[in-house]
Structure 1
Amino acid sequence: MSSSIKRAKTSEIWNYFTPIPSENFIANCNICKRKLSFKTTNSNLKKHLTSNHPTIALPSSTKGHQNLQRHQEQEQQQQQDPQHSQQQALTDVSDSTESTQSSTSKTVQSKMTTFLPKRMNIGGTKNITEKLMLLFIKDFQPFSIVEDEGFKQFVHALNSGYDLPSRHSISKTLLPTMYEQCRNECLDMTKNVKSVCLTTDCWTSVNTESYIAVTAHFLNDEFQLRHILLDCSLMKTQHTSINLATEIKRVVTEWGFQEKVLLAVTDNASNIKNAITKELNWKHFGCFAHTINLIVKDALDNDIVSSLLKKVKTIVAHFKKVQTRQKS
C-alpha cells in the first residue's frame, strides 16, 4: 500500500488516476472510472490512456530517457578504455571529497539567505489546476492568460510552489480530459432514461460559420428535470431538410436516443420542420417564443400600425436632436 501511495505522489500519470485505498495497486481512471492495476509499473495506466482516451496528451518522459542515454554512454566508454575509467573514478573521488567540504558551508549560507518554496504534491497541484480550468470553462478567458506576466505574479503570490501549465497543455491535455470526464458523467446520467425531448436550432457565428446545436431534456429517477447539450457542431453543408436530419440523427445515435425521442422543438422554418416530421418521423412542436414573435410581426404589418410607428420614430428623433443641441 505504501508503495502505491508513493508512486501516486511522484508520477505525472496520476493526474488522470486515483489510487483506491482499500485495494492494493488498483486505481480508478478519473475519466471513465475504470479500475486498473499498477502493481509493477505505470505502463498499464499509460496504455489505457492511449487506447481509450487518445485525445489526452501523455506526460513526457524526456528526463528518464536522457539519464538512460547518459548511463549507456558511460558504460561504452568504460568498455573501450578501462584504464582511463579507473583514473577518472579516482579523480571523481578526490573532487567529491573537496567539494563536500566547501558545499557544506555554502548550503548553510543558502538556507539562511534563500527561501525555496516547497514543491507541491500531485493532489495539491491537481486541485489548483481544476480551479484554474474554471477560468476557461465558466468565464471563457483566453488560454493566453497563463502567459501574462501579471497573472503569473498573482498566482506565485498565492502559492509559490505551483507551476502554471502552458497554454498548449491546457488546450491539448487538460481541456480534453475535463471534456471526457463531463461526457462520461452525462452518459451515466442518461443510460437509464426512457424518453427525451429535443430542442435544436441553427445559428451563425461572427465569422459567418454555421452551427447546429442539439439539447436533450428529460426527467431523472428523482423526477427532476435535466438538460444536456448533446452537441454543437459545424454545419458545412446547406441547411436542407435532408442535411439537417442527417446531422441530428448522428448526434442522437451517438447518445443512444434513437428510440427514445418523444418530440422535437424547433422554430417554424420549413426546412427544419420537414427534417423532423418527414425525414426523422418524429413529432414536432413549434417554439412558443418564435411563434409569439411571428404573431407580433404579423400584427405590426398593417397600414395603421406602420403609420403610428413612423410618427413615434419622428418624435423620438426630434427630441434626440434637441438634447444634442442643448449639450453643444
Structure 2
Amino acid sequence: MEKRKRSLLWTSFTDMGSGKAKCGLCGQVMSFLGGATSNLRRHLKFKHPGSQLSRQDIPPEINREELIDISALRNSQDSSSSVPPCPDVTPDQAPGVIPMVLRAATNQPRITNYINKPISQQRHKQLDHQLIKMIAKEYHPLSLVEDKEFKNFVYLLNPNYKLPSRKTVSSTLVPQLYLSTKEMVLNTLRSVHSVSITTDAWTSINNDSFLAVTVHFQVGCDLKSYLLDCFELTGKHTSENLAAEIIRIATEWEVVGKISVVVSDNAANIKAAIKKCHWRHIPCFAHTINLIVKAGVQEISALQIKVKQIVEFFKRRPDATAKLRALQKQSGVSELKLKQEVPTRWNSTYDMFQRMIALR
C-alpha cells in the first residue's frame, strides 16, 4: 500500500512515479529525489507566488478535524517536547494563507491539549498576587480588573487565567497582601536592635489632618525604611494626642524599646509629644534650613511680595500667559513659565526669583 503523503504540497502536484512530480498549475514536470519536497516548494514560491493552498484543496478522504493551525504548533514547540516539528510546511508555501499541517498519527495528542491546559491553583494564586502587587505599588484603581481592554490584554497573554472581580480584590486579595506584608515587616523589625523614626503631621487642601510615622534601620550596609502608618487625625493636635498616637503605632510594630531617636519638624506640639514619650528628638535639618532662609528673606519681603503677585497674576490669567509665550517665541528665546514659591520649601523662593530675572 502506497504511503499517504502528508505535505500539502501534493494538493498542487501529481506524483508521476520514479521521483517525478507534475505541477497542477503549469504542467511542468519536476524531480523530487529521496522524497524531498524543497524543489517543489521553490517552484511554487517563484513560479506561482499567487497560488493558495486553501482548505478546499485538501483531498476529501482526509479528516478535517485533524487539521491544526501551524502557528499554534510552533508556539507550543518551545514548551512541549512531545510535539515534533513539521519542516515540510512553511509559511512561504502560500502567501496570505494560514498554513495547516496534519496530525502525524491518530494516537498523538492534539496540540490544543497543551494550549488549553488549565493552569494550576498554585499558578493562579501567583498571578493574583502579582496583580495585587501591581495595583498597590503603581497606584492603579481597583476597577482595573473590570476594564474591557485590560481583560482582552490578559486573555491574549493567557486565556486560562480568570481575572478576579473587583469585590474579590477589595475584600480578599488586598487584605491578604496587607497581612502578609505586615508580617514580613514585623519579622524584620524583630531581628533588629535599634531603629529611628520620622514623623510629620500636615493638613490637606480639603482641610483634613494626617499623621505619618516611618521607621528607619540598618541591615548590614543597607538602609531600610518602612511606612508604619498614615492616618487621618480627627482630634485636636495637642501634644498628649500626638504622643498617644505615636506610642500606639510603636507598640503595634513592637519597636517601643528600640527607638533611639525621633526626627520631626520644629512645631512645638510634636516636640512636646516626643518629649512625653521619653525619646531623643532631633529636628529635621531641611526644615531648620527653611526656617533660617525664611528669616533671612524678611529683609526683602516687599520685593518678594511684588514678585509673588506678578506670578499669581499670570497663573490666574491664561490670556496673559499666552501673550508671554508669544513674546518669547517672537524674541527667539526659550519658552519658560513663571514659578510660584512654596512657603515650606526655601529653594522654591530662590527658583521663583531666578525665573523672574530670566524673564524680566
1:17: which partner in 2?
A: none
Whether the 8 Å contact between 2:198 and 2:213 is mirrored in structure 1 is: yes
The C-alpha deviation readout for 1:27-70, integer Å capped at 9, x for no partner, is: xxxxxxxxxxxxxxxxxxxxxxxxxxxxxxxxxxxxxxxxxxxx
Letter in 1 for 2:150: F
Letter in 1 for 2:202: W
Q: In structure 2, what is the Cα distance between the partners aligned to 1:315 and 1:214?
A: 35
Counterpart position of 2:201:
202
Offset at residue 217 of structure 1 (A): 1.2
Task: Verify the 8 A CA contact 2:186 2:253 in the aligned structure 1.
Answer: yes
Give, as a single letter, the amino acid of the residue that structure 1 aligns with 2:142: F
User: Which residue is 1:163 aligned to?
Assistant: 162
Mean Cα deviation higher: 288-297 or 222-231: 222-231
Measured at CA, do residues 111 and 256 of structure 1 come closer, stay the same or move farther in structure 2, by a change above 3 Å? farther
Answering whether residue 302 of structure 2 is matched by residue 306 of structure 1, we say yes
Q: Tell me what 1:218 maps to.
A: 217
Residue of structure 1 in register with 2:117 after alignment: 118
1:271–1:179 CA distance, 2 compared to 1 (3 A): same
Say if 2:198 and 2:214, in contact at 8 Å, map to a contact too.
yes
Which amino acid in 1 is paired with 2:117?
K
Quick one: which of 265, 268, 272 aligns to 1:267? 265
* 1:269–1:311 distance in 2 versus 1, CA, 3 Å: closer
How far did 1:200 drift? 0.4
Q: Matches of 1:181 and 1:212 in 2, distance apart?
A: 24
For normalisation by structure 1, the TM-score amounts to 0.59
- Please identify which structure carries the higher helix content: 1
Q: CA deviation at 1:227?
A: 1.2
Report the CA distance between 1:152 and its aligned residue: 1.0
Contact 2:201/2:210 (<8 A) preserved: yes
**Partner residue, 1:23:** none
Higher alpha-carbon Rg: 2
The aligned amino acid for 1:291 is: T
The 1:246–1:160 alpha-carbon spacing in structure 2 relative to 1, beyond 3 Å, is: same
Once residues 206 and 111 of structure 1 are traced to their aligned partners in structure 2, the CA distance between those partners, rounded to angstroms, is: 67
Question: Within 1, Cα distance between the matches of 2:322 and 2:120?
Answer: 66
Match of 1:280 in 2: 277
TM-score where L is the length of structure 2 = 0.54
Residue equivalent to 1:251: 249
- Deviation of residue 199 (structure 1)? 0.3
Residues 140-171 of structure 1: per-residue CA shift (max 9 Å, x gap): 11111111111111111111000000111111
Query: Could you list the per-position Cα deviations for residues 6-36 of structure 1 after superposition, in whole angstroms to 9, with x for gaps in the alignment?
Result: xxxxxxxxxxxxxxxxxxxxxxxxxxxxxxx
- Mapped partners of 2:65, 2:205: distance in 1: 56
Q: Is the 8 A contact 1:300 1:306 kept in 2?
A: no
Instruction: State percent identity of aligned pairs.
Output: 39
1:135, distance to aligned residue in structure 2 (A): 2.7
Are the structure 2 counterparts of residues 323 and 146 from structure 1 closer, same or farther at C-alpha, using a change threshold of 3 Å?
same
Paired amino acid for 1:301 = Q
Q: Distance in 2 between the 1:316 and 1:185 partners?
A: 48
1:64-75 to 2 correspondences below 5 Å = none
Gaps of 5+ in 1: 1-107
- CA displacement, residues 62-83 of structure 1 (integer Å, 9 cap, x when unaligned): xxxxxxxxxxxxxxxxxxxxxx
- Which letter maps to 2:188? M
Alpha carbons 2:189, 2:255 under 8 Å: kept: no
Give the RMSD, CA atoms, in angstroms. Answer: 3.2
**What residue in structure 2 maps to residue 241 of structure 1?**
239
Relative distance call for 1:118 and 1:109 in structure 2 (3 A) is farther
Q: What is aligned with 1:50?
A: none
Establish whether residue 294 from structure 1 lines up as the match of residue 291 from structure 2: yes
Taking the aligned partners of 1:192 and 1:310, their CA distance within structure 2 comes to: 56
Given that residues 268 and 286 in structure 1 are in contact (C-alpha distance below 8 angstroms), is that contact kept between their aligned partners in structure 2?
yes
1:127 and 1:310, CA in 2 relative to 1: closer, same or farther beyond 3 A? same
Secondary structure of 2:257's aligned partner:
coil
Sort the Cα spacing of 1:154 and 1:293 in 2 relative to 1 into closer, same or farther, 3 A. same
**Alpha-carbon distance change, 121 to 291 in structure 1, aligned in 2, over 3 angstroms:** same
Give a deviation string over 1:212-251, Cα, whole Å, max 9, x none.
111111123x243211211122211111100000000001
